[in-house]
Every structure is written in C-alpha cells, then in structure tokens.
Structure 1
Amino acid sequence: MGFRLKIEKFDEHLERLRDKYKVYAPVKLKGKGTFADTDTIRYKEIESIKEIEFNTKSTFSPKEIILPITQTLFYFTEDECKEPKEGEKKILIFLRSCDIHAMKRLDEVYLRNGNEDYYYKTLREKVKFVLMGCSDSFENCFCASMGYNKTEEYDMYTKIKNDEVFVECKSEELMNYFYKDIEGTIVVEPEYVSSNDIKVTIPENLDQRVFKSKMWDEYSSRCIACGRCNFVCGTCSCFTMQDVFSKDNKNVGERRRIWASCHVDGFSDMAGGHGFRKDKKDRMRFKVMHKVYDFKKRAGYHMCVGCGRCDDICPEYISFSSCVNKLSKVMEAVE
C-alpha cells in the first residue's frame, strides 16, 4: 500500500514504532571520519527520519547491526556458562537494495551453510527492512553490473520529498502503525539506478587457472594488509574468538566473537606456525575469487553485491572492480 505523510506525522508513528523496535539508519557523524575535520556515515539508532542520510552512501554496511563487531556469546565461571540476555525489541533497518542483497549472503553463510548459527539467527529473526531508494549512482558503485540494483525483498519503502514522506508498506504489522492517518492511497514506486559509471564484467569461463596469473603480483607491494575492505563489506562474514578473563578470578570471564579479515596477518595461520597465505597477493586473490567464483559454485549466485565500499575505503586506492575486470583478459590469455 502506498501513501504519504508529513515528516512530523511520520515521526509520530516512528516514535510509536520505537516502543517495540530499535530503528537503525545511516546517519552523519560529525568529526568521526578518518581525520579530525572529516565526517563519516554509519548506522546508528535514530529517533527521527530527518536524521537519516538519504543522499550519501554509508561508510559501513548495516551488517554490524545483526553481526556485531564484538559479540559476547556467553559468560563463564568455574561451574557454569550463561548466555547474555537478549533485548525484547525487534529491529527495523533502513538500507539500500545492495545491502538487502548482502543480507541474503550473510543468511547463506550463517543459516544455510550446514548448521544454523544460533546467535546470528536470534538477531536475524527480529529484523525488518525499510528500503532506501537510489536516485543516482554513488561513487565506485557497480551494483547494476552485478544485478543487485533492485530488490523486492523489503517490508517498507520510504522517500522524503520536500516536507513529506512517501511510503510503500508491504508489512501488515508495520502498516498497523499508520492506518489511522492515511487519507488515501497513492502509487509509490522505489527508485533504482539502472546503470553505474563503473561497469564490471565477470568472465563466464572463470576458473582456478587464474590463480597462477601474474596479475596478482602487484598487490604484494600495494596492499598493506589493513583489512579495511573486509570490515566495510556487507558480505564479509569471517570472525575469530576471544576469551576475556576477569582480573580478580582467572577462571571467570566471557567468550566473544570478533570480526576478522582474510587480509590481516595471522588470519590463515595454523598450529605450528604454518600460514597458507603469507604473501599479500595471495590474500587479495583469495578474497576476489571468493567473491566472484567460490561462493557462486556453492550458492549459485555471486557474493559481491557491487556496493563499492571496499574501493571507497582503501588507503592504497586498490580497486576491487578493476581487479575483477582484469580477470577477463587473464582468461582470454589462458584460453
């Protein structure tokens, strides 16, 4: 159902929604960027739709809401283990089409990859999505090439125009909050970009023969193994474990799950000191091929959704999209 409301009226309903939902959206954080005089856009809990940054791409993806950077799995003592108490509120996330597709990839990894991950599932079951449209393509985006510039898998869509909020609501539960102030229905269609400045082509014949290509050599010196590309990516899902012990009693503490990165030193190290990918070019090759080859072989669709955040954040200006486009020439040479 489509309708429109004044911003102030929409915020009144949002306030009522917040009784049962934690509402997250991308907001501008002043002075929180890389340097003291720069800003960043990141997901935070909001109270008004006016706080949402609709016209700029967020630096981080919304995955940190349902896959926290640091998550306590359980507390332990000498005698027992105890799970942390979960909040009763549900979760409402404002996000873009590419990010909704990215959530599908996380679902594949954590829910359909053998055993379901209990901690991820507990949060994921509470989530509803509010789609944010894209009237123009952002810098470094290539979602259209990947086919993820559009989606139908959302519960509500919102767009601000002048002093009004245009809404399309698919969820009956969410619709119940708005019924009394709807004077009439209108047609509201989500905005999507049909093309991006950056085009990416993944070769149909891509296979493991590219592993030995010289194209990876440049990343040995260019990549500094900071892992920033992994942390802003909406589909990277790797983590490590950490036990934090009490200073007063070494037998009491908590076990945490913490984001990890395949680019960072030590990620692939095993007992005895053996490391599978000590050279940074091997780590770059692993990430790229996982996003556009390995994952598709297992799940049937590409892991990368074309958000371009990895290109935005890299301090060495390494372009993931450019790297993917090089694969076509490598496969031509191989053939």
Structure 2
Amino acid sequence: MGFALTTEQFDAFLAGLARDYDIYAPKRLAGKGAFSGTDLIAYAPVQSLAEIVFDRKTFYSPKEILLPISQTLFYFTEEAYREPQQQQRPVIIFLRPCDVHAVKRLDQIYLHNGDQADPYYRERREKVKFFVMECTEGFDSCFCVSMGTNRTGEYAVFLRLEADRVLCDARPEFTPALAAYGREAPFTPAFIEQNKISVKTPEKIAPAVYGHPLWSEYDSRCIACGRCNVCCPTCTCFTMQDIFYEDNPRCGERRRVWAGCMIDGFTDLAGGHSFRNKYGERMRFKALHKVYDFKKRFGDHMCVGCGRCDDVCPEYISFSRIINRLAEVSDDE
C-alpha cells in the first residue's frame, strides 16, 4: 500500500519506530574519512530523515550490522564457558536493492551452507527489517544491472525521497504506522535499468584461465591491503582469536574477526606453510569465487555489482574490468 508523508511526518514515523527498533542508515560522519578533513559515509544509528544520506554510496556495507567486525562468541574459564548476551532489540536498515541481495548471499553461507545454521548470525538476522531506498541512477562504479541485483521485492518499506515529501510502499506489518502519520497515495517502486558500467560474466571457465598471464599483473599492482574484502557486502570469511586476560591467563574469550582472501596470512597453515602467496593468485581465487564458484553451488553470483571494491582500492584495480577480462579469456578458449 502506498503512502505520502511530509518530512516532518516521516521524522515522527521514525521516532515512533525508535521506541521498538534500532534504526541504521547511510550517515555522514564528519571528519572520519581516510584523509584529513574528509567525511565518511557509513552505516550508523539515525533519528531523522535529514541524517540519512541518499545521494552517496557508503564506504562500508550494512553487512557489519549483521556480522560484526569483531564478535565475541563465548567467554571461558578453566572449567566452563558462557555465551554473551546477544542484541535484544530488532533492527531496521535503510539500504539499496543490491545490498538486499548481498544479505541473501550472507544468508546462503551462514544459514544454508550445511546442516547447521550459524546461531549467532541467525539470531541477528531474524530481527532485521529492510527499508529499501529507491535507486534509479546508481553511481559511476555500479554494475548491479549486469549482476541481476538491481531489483528486489524483499522489503518491509520501500521509499522514494522527493523535494518535500517521502513516498512509501509498505508491507502489512508497517501499514498501520504509516497510515497514522501520512496519507494514502499511489506509488510504484522504480529501479535502475542501466548502469554506466556493464559486465559479462563467464558461463564457463576454460582450463587456460587458471594459468593465464592476466593474473600476473596483480602480483605488482595489488598491495594486499584487504580493503576490497572489508568493504564487500558479500565477503564472509573470518578468523578465530582466543584472547587471554592479563589478570588471569587461564580465562578469556573467543572472538570471530573478519578476514579476507587478499590479506597476508589468510592461508597460513601450521608448520609455516601457506597457499596463494602471490597476489595474482589471490585475485584469481576471489574473482572465480565471486562470479563462478558461488553460482555453481547456490545459483546466484556472489558479487552483487555494488562497485565498492572499485571505489576503495588504493591501486585503482577495477573488479568489473577483471570480470570482463575473465569472460574474454574463457570465450576465446
């Protein structure tokens, strides 16, 4: 059902929701950018429409709300262990269609990748509602149309920001709340139909791809900073850390901490062994996982075309270009 609200009415709507939900959205964090005097657009708690940034892409994805960068799984002593109290309040996340699809990729890994769902992820995921922000133009580095992630119907509320009002399409759960603050109005969600960048994903992988010289370029260009892994909304890898307390070294906590295939040490094994020491080998592994292996197993590409990895790479490595080169090599074989 469609509704129209003034900005003041929408703020009142948010204030009402805040009594029961924690609300996260893209927000400008002044002075928090990578360089002196720059701002960071990232996910943070919001209380009003004016705080929500609609015209910029976030540096980080909303993944960190569902999957914290560092998460304590349990505390331990010499004789017992105890799980920490998890987040109690439900959450509303303002996000774009591509990021909704990204969460579905997280769901595949943490909920449907084997016989047992991850209980920590599941507890957070069950409390999340999506408020989708209409995106009809995208950004320079986006290629969501090529990846089939430009549209979604999985939302609690879909909203379009106009000059003096907000148009919303609501599912039954939030219809009464919107009706209390706004008025009914016809509204049909719109989605982006064409990006500035397009990619062709490979339908098959030729054997020559694995030893192709295209990967050697990244031996020198990539610096293994891992920014592409950290900003990616679908990277799911982590490492475990046992933290022992100084006042009692026999007690501590086990933490799950983000990790990534491009970062040094990710493939280290006992005895000093390691896989994929060359950065080009890591790039090959990541690319094939994002646009081939994951789809072969789950039916969808892991990459959702948000373009964040292109935005944050200090060496200006374009993942969309890597996908196209991968397809070109496979087609030539």
Q: TM-score, length-normalised on structure 1?
A: 0.96
Larger deviation: 119-128 or 240-249? Answer: 240-249
Aligned equivalents of 1:152 and 1:136: distance in 2?
18
2:130 aligns with: 129
State the 1:137 CA deviation. 2.0
Larger deviation: 58-67 or 245-254? Answer: 245-254
Q: Deviations over 1:33-90 (max 9, x none)?
A: 1101211110001111211100111111100000010111111122221111123210
State the 1:208 CA deviation. 4.5
SS of the residue corresponding to residue 137 of structure 2 reads coil
SS of the residue corresponding to residue 177 of structure 1 reads helix
Q: Which consecutive segments of 4 or more residues in structure 1 shift more than 6 A?
A: none
Aligned equivalents of 1:293 and 1:179: distance in 2?
45
Shift in alpha-carbon separation, 1:222–1:160, aligned structure 2, 3 A:
same
SS of the residue corresponding to residue 121 of structure 1 reads helix
State the 1:176 CA deviation. 2.8
* Conserved 8 A contact 1:103-1:234: yes
State the 1:207 CA deviation. 4.2
Aligned equivalents of 2:87 and 2:176: distance in 1?
23
State the 1:304 CA deviation. 0.4
Larger deviation: 76-85 or 96-105? Answer: 76-85
2:166 aligns with: 165
1:236 aligns with: 235
Task: Indicate whether 1:59 and 2:97 are aligned.
Answer: no
Q: TM-score, length-normalised on structure 2?
A: 0.97
Larger deviation: 311-320 or 248-257? Answer: 248-257
2:12 aligns with: 12
| Structure 2 segments unaligned to the other structure (5+ residues) | none
Shift in alpha-carbon separation, 1:167–1:332, aligned structure 2, 3 A:
closer
Q: Deviations over 1:122-164 (max 9, x none)?
A: 1000001000111312021000111111111111012221221
Q: Deviations over 1:273-309 (max 9, x none)?
A: 1111111110000000000011011101110000000
What is the one-letter code of the residue matched to 2:18? R
1:154 aligns with: 155
Task: Indicate whether 1:299 and 2:298 are aligned.
Answer: yes
Task: Indicate whether 1:187 and 2:180 are aligned.
Answer: no
What is the one-letter code of the residue matched to 1:24? Y
What is the one-letter code of the residue matched to 2:117? E
Aligned equivalents of 2:250 and 2:49: distance in 1?
46
* Conserved 8 A contact 1:155-1:169: yes
| Structure 1 segments unaligned to the other structure (5+ residues) | none
* Conserved 8 A contact 2:61-2:99: yes
Aligned equivalents of 1:121 and 1:111: distance in 2?
7
How many residues are paired up? 332
Q: Deviations over 1:14-35 (max 9, x none)?
A: 1121111100000011111110
Question: Aligned Cα RMSD in Å?
Answer: 1.2
* Conserved 8 A contact 2:202-2:291: no
What percent of counterpart residues are identical?
52
